[in-house]
Amino acid sequence: MLRETQRVPVRESTDVLVVGGGIAGVAAAVAARRLGAQVLLLEKSALLGGLATNGLINWYEPLCDGRGEQMITGLAEELLRLSIRYGDDTLPRIWQEGARPVPRERVRPEKQHPDGGRFGTFFSPTMFQLGLDELLLNAGVELRLDILAARPLMAGKRCVGVFCESKTGREFFPARVAVDATGDADLFFRAGAPCVSGRNYLSFVAHGCDLTQKRRALEQRRWIAKGADLHGVGHPEGYPRMAGTTNEEVTRFLLDGRRMLRASLREGERTARDVTSLPSQAQFRTTRRIRGAATLTEADQGTPCPSSIGLAGDFEKVGDWYEIPWGSLYCEGYPNLLATGRMISSEGWAWDVTRVIPVCALTGQAAGTAAALALEADCPVGRVPLGTLQQALERHGVRIHR
């Protein structure tokens, strides 16, 4: 064990520090900034979007319940529209036409029916990345890219700021409120907050194209999926399931995924297809999440929640819905830390429901809004008046209750 001592430059303090530039982090940053907070977003890669873009999971799961009713609104819908602003889409016609409610006689339960399918779409990851830059910069969010948040500095259970590593070297960023949008609860875990780890099947998705005929962009850009689906079908026999919370696990997951892809490429004619993109981050589904003041469970499906901060449909089960409890975004006793995205307090199938793009955007908007309100009221995040939070979210387009 070594002990390191060094002098670290302290940067200017910010109101809200968002760690992680995936969809949840982007939504949190924009929401807080629109309420007047000064916001700094730190992203470890060179590009924004997280698993949706860097991870090549370019399917925006549905905003509706599969029966023609829109469940998820607010920034989640704004980001869906942004994902296809500069590129191709597969949005069903009933959701393109703008009529609300949509004509129920045309609704189909299939996710990708061209006319009456669910309110979701494939998108170009690169086009979405460009749009996310534009959204954040236009909102006035300060960005730092290619910078790793190493650990929080704690004064008791209050986060004073975050130590980071980048090409500049080590820096310290003070903040009044921190939003953990790492996807892995890294800030909470390193702050000593209670966390729970998941167990992931080996899954790997690359993008490829068929060179034998010309097609629309998104018809040509197709997934090359290896390993398991989200239910574990296809998981290699005897292969361990991983939490994805250590560097060794991340490295093994990526290398074994690429090994499976290489094996499949040895079959077929090499001049008839191309692999156009490899994921630049591991495609874990559930790594580590907080154990919050409240936990969303599968038993909460279809049950009203008085403390709801947003309504979410189930991306796989037609008609199912959840109201996400406010307490799932924070831990008791940690007065200025908020969680968002796939690491909020949820378990079982509810964890899967909360990890997909639109729900990450929803909880990101809630976390960013709560951060700004906590600063305005000068109170711990968990003491933001629920009614004030719900009203602020509704004013910005979020549907709170079923």
Mean pLDDT, consecutive 10-residue stretches, the chain (402 aa), reads 92 97 98 98 98 97 96 97 95 91 91 94 96 98 97 98 97 98 98 97 93 78 92 96 96 96 89 90 97 98 98 96 98 98 98 98 98 98 98 98 94
**What are the φ/ψ torsions at residue 101 (nearest 5 degrees)?**
-70, 160
Write the CA distances from 215 to 208, 220, 276, integer angstroms: 13, 6, 15
pLDDT score of 211: 80
Omega cis (within 30) before 306: no
Describe the crossing of helices 75-83 and 357-377 by its angle, rounded to 10 degrees: 130
Indicate the SS3 state at residue 388: helix
Residue type for position 84: I
Residue 77 CA to residue 134 CA, distance in Å, equals: 17
Instruction: Kindly state the tokens that stand for 47.
Output: 């590009």
Rg (CA), the chain: 21
pLDDT score of 270: 84
Residue 298 gets which letter from DSSP?
Answer: G
Burial environment of residue 40 by CB neighbours within 10 A (0 to 12, 13 to 18, 19 or more): buried
Residue 37 CA to residue 41 CA, distance in Å, equals: 12
pLDDT score of 56: 97
Alpha helices in 226-294 (DSSP H): 247-265
Residue 22 gets which letter from DSSP?
Answer: B
- Assess contact for 16 and 176: CB atoms under 8 A: yes
Task: Return contacts of 230-239, CB within 8 angstroms, 24+ apart.
Answer: 230/201, 230/203, 230/285, 230/352, 232/201, 234/201, 235/201, 235/202, 236/202, 239/202
- Assess contact for 30 and 143: CB atoms under 8 A: no
Burial environment of residue 233 by CB neighbours within 10 A (0 to 12, 13 to 18, 19 or more): exposed
Residue 39 CA to residue 127 CA, distance in Å, equals: 24
Instruction: Kindly state the tokens that stand for 199.
Output: 């167990």
Total Cβ atoms within 10 A of residue 247: 7
For the chain, give every domain's residue range: 14-198+288-395, 203-277
Residue 250 CA to residue 37 CA, distance in Å, equals: 35
β-sheet bridge partners, residue 225? 205
pLDDT score of 213: 75
Nearest to 375, CA basis, from 19, 30, 33 = 33
The pairing of beta strand 195-197 with beta strand 288-290 = antiparallel
Instruction: Kindly state the tokens that stand for 165.
Output: 């590593």
Write the CA distances from 280 to 166, 181, 325, integer angstroms: 18, 18, 33
Domain 14-198+288-395: assigned CATH number: 3.50.50.60
Total Cβ atoms within 10 A of residue 156: 9
pLDDT score of 191: 98
Instruction: Kindly state the tokens that stand for 197.
Output: 């780890």
* Residue indicated by tokens 């302290």: 10
Residue 90 gets which letter from DSSP?
Answer: -
What is the distance between the terminal CA atoms of the chain, rounded to a whole angstrom? Answer: 53
pLDDT score of 214: 72
Instruction: Kindly state the tokens that stand for 48.
Output: 């924004």
Residue 96 CA to residue 112 CA, distance in Å, equals: 13
